[in-house]
Amino acid sequence: MNYNNQSFEYEVLHSIPFIHDRKRGQIIIKSKLTNDIILYTMGSDFVVEKFVKEIYLSDIRKICTETATTGFRTLLVTMKVIKEEDFLKWNKLCELNESDTKLNASEKKKKFYDLISELENNLDFLCITGIENQLQLDVENTIRNIIADRIKLWILTGDKLETTISIGVKIGLISTNRGNQPQRVYIIKEQTTKPHFLEKLYDYYTNHSKNILLLDGASLDIALNYTKDTFFQITKHSPGVLCCNCSPEQKFLLVKYMKEYSNKVCLVIGNNKNDVDMLREASVSVGLHSSESRHASAAADYSITKFNQLNKLIFGFGKMSYINVAKLVNICIYFSFLHLNSLVSRLIY
């Protein structure tokens, strides 16, 4: 790489790609100029901050909250200089793991991630990146049409809570007052025990059932694993539900249980690889095709390029399909009667 007309060379020792389950990715490089071995980590701030030196935490949380509140997706970038002897010991363990014939590929990968975790401590804070959530044209009107047609709307996202609220405001699902604070939203977050979660859920049902319900990933785990019956009985009366910090597995389970407990047709819209499982589980699925990812559109029943095309798909083609199926049923019944008449006539004759 070049910086200030100077050339710097680095050797890549290990590269660990970003995966959703870990919510972070890493690269280990060695400087040919100084021989320093450096671990760089980039990932979701609420995950990576657990491994950062405590002196940075207050600044990280303040910046991330401010950035996410304005609608940006935040990623935390950190670094750590590793002693050569420590790296050589660690690398030896990685080589032994790779050559272990008793383990299959998935077990080796899991053990490798465990080894990586051993290096993730006392990380130094480098920077925070913010990626703006830009909505496509006419998204707000499309959402408004869906709600006006009495379709229950759930939004499942891997974004953090503040970013999810910002998205809810942008699409018109959550209103704002003069102080620009969200209204009509009831938040259940960081609930890790069944009694505490149920207490919040009953409070929502008793006093705030006309508000939008927002849950984080930890609370959603309790809902899906321990209180499915109560959770879906209460949320079916909610005007809308937002779920943040969702994993692909949680999205899949939500769709699966929603079909089971509501006994309704479940339409799912997804736009990336993390949505594939829930798209396949849905009654009807729509994939939003983009240049970054084609996984969703390949896995879905229907593929669209713009979100506002849902208007035509649901309220145009959907309505016509419903009418045509009704006509086909009438025709089938009519010909069944004709056939039955013919059989009866022959028997009498």
Helix extents (H) in the chain: 45-48, 57-69, 84-99, 105-119, 139-148, 161-170, 194-207, 217-226, 228-235, 248-262, 276-281, 295-299, 310, 318-348
pLDDT at 78: 93
| Domain 134-264, classified CATH 3.40.50, yes or no | yes
Q: How far apart are CA 212 and CA 219, in angstroms?
A: 16
Burial zone of 90 (CB within 10 Å; 0-12 exposed, 13-18 middle, 19+ buried): middle
C-alpha triplet 345, 346, 349: angle, nearest 5°: 85
Q: How far apart are CA 24 and CA 251, in angstroms?
A: 19
Number of neighbouring beta carbons within 10 Å of residue 211: 17
pLDDT at 182: 47
Reduce the DSSP state of residue 283 to 3 states and report it: coil
pLDDT at 77: 92
Q: How far apart are CA 44 and CA 21, in angstroms?
A: 11
What length is written for the chain? 349
In sequence order, which residues have a C-beta less than 8 Å from that of residue 178 and are 6 or more positions away?
Answer: none
pTM: 0.72
pLDDT at 2: 63
Question: Do residues 296 and 275 make contact, with C-beta atoms less than 8 angstroms apart?
Answer: yes
- Parse the chain into domains and list their residue ranges: 2-131, 134-264
Mean pLDDT by 10 residues, the chain (349 residues): 71 84 86 87 87 89 83 87 88 83 80 84 89 79 84 86 83 64 75 87 86 89 88 87 88 89 87 85 86 77 86 80 84 78 60
Fold of 2-131: Calcium-transporting ATPase, cytoplasmic domain N (3.40.1110)
Question: Do residues 82 and 119 make contact, with C-beta atoms less than 8 angstroms apart?
Answer: yes
3-state secondary structure 88-137: HHHHHHHHHHHHCCCCCHHHHHHHHHHHHHHHCCCEEEEEEEEEECCCCC
pLDDT at 40: 92
Question: Do residues 40 and 29 make contact, with C-beta atoms less than 8 angstroms apart?
Answer: yes
Distance of CA 5 to the CA centre of its chain: 42
pLDDT at 291: 67
